Structure formats: C-alpha cells, structure tokens
Amino acid sequence: MKPFRYERVTDPYAAVAAVSASPQARYLAGGTNLVDLMKLGVETPDVLVDISGVSFGGIEETGRGGLRIGAFVSNSDLAAHPLVRERYPALSQAVLAGASGQLRNAATVGGNLLQRTRCLYFQDTSKPCNKRRPGSGCPAIEGIHRDLAVLGTSRHCVATQPGDMVVALAAFDAEVHLLGPAGERTVPLTGFHRLPGNEPQRDTVLKHGELITAVELPALPIAARSVYRKVRDRSSYAFALTSAAVAIEVRGGVVRDVRIAYGSLAAKPWRARAAEEFLLGAPATEENFALAADTELAAARPLRDNGYKVTLARNLTVRLLTDLTGPVGSVAHAQGAPR
Ligand SMILES: Cc1cc2nc3c(=O)[nH]c(=O)nc-3n(C[C@H](O)[C@H](O)[C@H](O)COP(=O)(O)OP(=O)(O)OC[C@H]3O[C@@H](n4cnc5c(N)ncnc54)[C@H](O)[C@@H]3O)c2cc1C
Ligand code: SF4
C-alpha cells in the first residue's frame, strides 16, 4: 500500500479544508470500501482525513415531517431505527440486505453512497479500465460482464453502482446535503450518481473536497407500505444482480401513486419514472404491472451475458407490486396495508 498521512478532524469545515488542500486526499469514514481499495492499489490517497470525530447528527425528524440522517450514522443504526422501520420499511430492508452484520456496524451512510463499483477489472490494477485509468479501455464489454449494467451504459463503461440503500433512497426522493469549499448545497439522490457517458471515472456529481453531511427523506406516506427485494447468487453476503424498491397506493382498484427504483442495473440507482407514469391512473392489474416494467426496460441494452437482468427486473416488478396490492398471504396482508 502506498504510504499516506493520517489526519483526524472534529470540525466539518476543517475536514473540507484538509481534503480540498490536496487532489489526492480522501475522507475516511468506516473504511470498509476505501481501505479495501487502497490495499488493492486502486485508491492511492496521500492524505486520509478521518471524519469519525465530526458531529454529523443522528436520525432526527425534520420540521417538514421527514427524516434527516447524519452522514456518519452506521448502516446498522439506520436499519434498526424505529421511525425508519415504520415510515420507510423498504429502506430498512435494503440496508439489512447489504454486506454482513459486522460491516453494517462499521459502514456509514455517507460512505455507502460513495462505494465504488464491484467490476472485476476496476479492482485489478493489472487490467485496463476507463473508470480507474481514463482512456485505457473497457475490457468488461467483451469480457466478464454478467453482473454489470443494462441501462444507461456507454461504450466507455458498463459498470453498476452495486448498493442497496441507495435504491430505496432513490424511490423515496431523498436529498443529499453537502458542504464544500464554496458552501452548502443539496442534490437530489436521483441526480447524485452519474451515468458513465464520456467520463466513467466520475461516479457522482460530488466535487473534490465536498463532504456529505446528511441525507434527508421527505414525508412520504406511501413509503410506509414499501418493500425492497434483492436477487443475488446466494442469500447473504452477496451484491445484488438486480434489486427493486417499490411502493404503491391503490384506491378503487386504480393506482393513485407508485414508486419504483431498481438497483444494480446501471451506474446509478435507477428510478423507473416511465413505469410509474404508465401506472398512474391505470387499473392495478398484474398485466399493467408487466407492461409498466416493459415500458421502463425498453431502454435496456444488455450485453452478451447479462440479458437475464432485464427478465429479473420485469419479474421482480410484477411480483412486488402484486404482493403489495394482492390477496391474503402477500406482503400487503402481512403489513396490514389497505387495499
Ligand atoms: C465484503 C463486503 C460486502 C459488501 N456488501 C454490500 C452489499 O451487499 N450491499 C451494499 O450496499 N454494500 C455492500 N458493501 C459495501 C459497504 O456497504 C460499503 O463499503 C460501506 O457502506 C462504505 O461505507 P464506509 O463508511 O465504510 O465508507 P469508506 O470506505 O470510509 O468510504 C467510502 C468512500 O466514501 C468517501 N466518504 C465517506 N464518507 C464521506 C462523507 N461523509 N463525505 C464525502 N465522502 C465520504 C470516502 O472518501 C471513500 O471514497 C460491502 C462491502 C464489503 C467489504
Ligand atoms: S465496466 Fe467500467 S469499471 Fe468495468 S472495466 Fe469497463 S470501464 Fe472499468
């Protein structure tokens, strides 16, 4: 591992100043992704600024009826919080579907948003990779890409954002609060991660030195009857092949409101707005759920070995929406949701 300097700060402005001072400086939160990448030689910071002593706040209700989640809240604490479980159950389920108990104890909300792709070539410094070394090529397009993206890809990169938490946050219109050298700003979660385009090395719209201070969820009654499901190769300790966070409100047999977001299909959590638009005002039938998924997934451009993800996403959408609106024995019944 390349030698680096370690600094510990307790003030967010000092943290921003310390990282802004060097292009190679990085914030250190739980370290569960950054330190792994340093060991692999993928990340080579010259300074690590430890933010574990900064007071970002916990999980608090906002004046607008939503929740503010401090950037250093651990994944475990987020998943277990009573208000998260009651008002945004898909978020709690998504976080619990990720990693392991030990990792969730160490991993933070801010670090989770910025975890990097699990593309094998990205993690292997002996291989070319446009995300790690711009202009070197993308061996995944012709090589091993079974886990990689089917939506929003470019000829420069087909990596996925592999997280779970972000999928529920995207479905629920969360916002990311940032503090940078130029002051504070807020970015919608759905606009936080970037599609690769010509610059696959840029995962997010974050500027160097900007610190995530919090994530805010709006008041969203529909989210109280939400569900997250993750499809993976084994039932624990594996990244998603495809996942979905879904919420739906049906009155008189007609869809009055609906939220659908997919994970591990693109370089960002994929809010399925075309599917949502299709369903608004439509009868809540299995056939319409499938047509809505087809509408969204028409934009998919699968590679040789990952077309199965499109089928998975379609089936997942139909299954979750049917469960949430369906008969006795379904998720809706288990959660006591009105139909
Ligand atoms: C074996 C394993 C399995 C995993 N499985 C899953 C899974 O199934 N699903 C899933 O979603 N995740 C999974 N993860 C990823 C894990 O959730 C992330 O590693 C973790 O959330 C990162 O958080 P951290 O606090 O440790 O971040 P760090 O590793 O400390 O930081 C990650 C990045 O974020 C930056 N950063 C951290 N905090 C801030 C901040 N406040 N502002 C600005 N920048 C910041 C750091 O500089 C760094 O670039 C897995 C990880 C491992 C090791
Ligand atoms: S898909 Fe992206 S991360 Fe993977 S090798 Fe290609 S450029 Fe690198």
Indicate if the pLDDT at residue 329 is higher than 90. Answer: no
Report d(CA 225, CA 217) in Å as an integer. 15
- Read off the pLDDT of each residue in 6-18 and give the average, rounded to a whole number: 98
pLDDT above 70 covers a percentage of the chain that reads 96
Q: What is the Å distance from ligand 1's center to 56 Cα? A: 17
Q: Ligand 1 pocket, 294 CB below 6 A?
A: no
Output the residue whose Cα is nearest ligand 2's atom 6.
138
Kind plus residue range of the DSSP H or E element containing 276: helix 273-279
Q: What is the token pair recorded at 54?
A: 């900064």
pTM: predicted TM-score of the whole model, two decimal places:
0.96
Q: Which atom of ligand 2 has the smallest separation from the CA of 130? A: 7
Q: Ligand 2 pocket, 266 CB below 6 A?
A: no
Report d(CA 161, CA 86) in Å as an integer. 27
Indicate if the pLDDT at residue 222 is higher than 90. Answer: yes
Report d(CA 118, CA 23) in Å as an integer. 24
Output the residue whose Cα is nearest ligand 2's atom 8.
129
Indicate if the pLDDT at residue 70 is higher than 50. Answer: yes
Q: Ligand 2 pocket, 104 CB below 6 A?
A: no
- Tell me what pLDDT residue 327 has: 66
Q: Ligand 2 pocket, 129 CB below 6 A?
A: yes
- Tell me what pLDDT residue 335 has: 47
36-45 contact pairs (CB < 8 A, 24+): 37/116, 37/123, 38/1, 38/2, 38/4, 39/1, 40/123, 40/124, 40/125, 41/1, 41/2, 41/125, 42/116, 42/122, 42/123, 42/125, 42/132, 44/2, 45/2, 45/4
- Read off the pLDDT of each residue in 65-86 and give the average, rounded to a whole number: 98
Report which bound ligand comes closest to the CA of 37: 1
Q: Ligand 1 pocket, 114 CB below 6 A?
A: yes
> Bridge partners of 183?
180
Indicate if the pLDDT at residue 331 is higher than 90. Answer: no
Indicate if the pLDDT at residue 235 is higher than 90. Answer: no
Write out 224-272 in H/E/C secondary structure: HHEEEEEECCCCCCCCCCEEEEEEEEEECCEEEEEEEEEECCCCCCEEC
Look at phi and psi of residue 158 and say left if phi exceeds 0, alpha if psi is from -120 to 50, else beta. Answer: alpha
Indicate if the pLDDT at residue 238 is higher than 80. Answer: yes
Indicate if the pLDDT at residue 303 is higher than 70. Answer: yes
- Tell me what pLDDT residue 328 has: 45
- Tell me what pLDDT residue 236 has: 84
Q: What is the token pair recorded at 153?
A: 């890809």
Kind plus residue range of the DSSP H or E element containing 48: strand 47-50
Residue 290's pLDDT band, with cuts at 50, 70 and 90, is very high
Cβ burial, residue 215 (10 Å; 0-12/13-18/19+) = buried
- Tell me what pLDDT residue 245 has: 98
- Read off the pLDDT of each residue in 10-22 and give the average, rounded to a whole number: 98
Which residue reads 């939503």 in tokens?
Answer: 66
Write out 126-182 in H/E/C secondary structure: CCCCCCCCCCCCCCCCCCCCCCCCCCCCECCECCCCCCCHHHHHHHCCCEEEEEECC
Q: CA angle at residue 331 from 329 to 333, to 5 degrees?
A: 55
- Tell me what pLDDT residue 31 has: 98
- Tell me what pLDDT residue 72 has: 98
152-192 pLDDT, tens per residue?
Answer: 999 999 999 999 999 999 999 999 999 999 999 999 999 99
Output the residue whose Cα is nearest ligand 1's atom 13.
99
